[in-house]
Amino acid sequence: MATRSVNSRYREHIFYTGLAALLALTVFVGFSRTYYVKGLFGTPRLSWIAHLYGAVFTLWVLFFVLQTALVSTPAGSVCIAASDGSGRRSPAESSH
């Protein structure tokens, strides 16, 4: 298994965190006139289901940005390196 340099991992974390932030910005700009700042544009009122959908989608985007930022921390990198990607615990962790 090849070892990547610290600089390469840092650039990769910046790249993915930046893309997540760009996604959040794109969502805000795309939905600003009809949802986020609709009062400034005189947009008609929305139904409760549209507000529910908007809130759930907004939370999903915020959690995606948060998750991406947390993975780029040193603790997140350790967790990723220790996992096998399956979500299962290793035999050493299972005994606790």
Please list the pLDDT of the chain residue by residue as tens digits (96 residues): 456 677 888 888 889 999 999 999 999 999 999 999 988 988 899 999 999 999 999 999 999 999 998 887 777 655 556 556 565 655 555 555
Q: Which two tokens stand for residue 11?
A: 């650039």
**Full-prediction pTM beyond 0.85?**
no
Coil, helix or strand for 71? helix
Containing H/E element for 3? none
Cβ-contact 55, 48 below 8 angstroms: no
Nearest one of 62, 70, 96 to 16, comparing CA atoms? 70
CA dist 82 → 42, 76, 90 (Å): 52, 10, 9
Cβ-contact 68, 17 below 8 angstroms: yes
Cβ-contact 41, 33 below 8 angstroms: yes
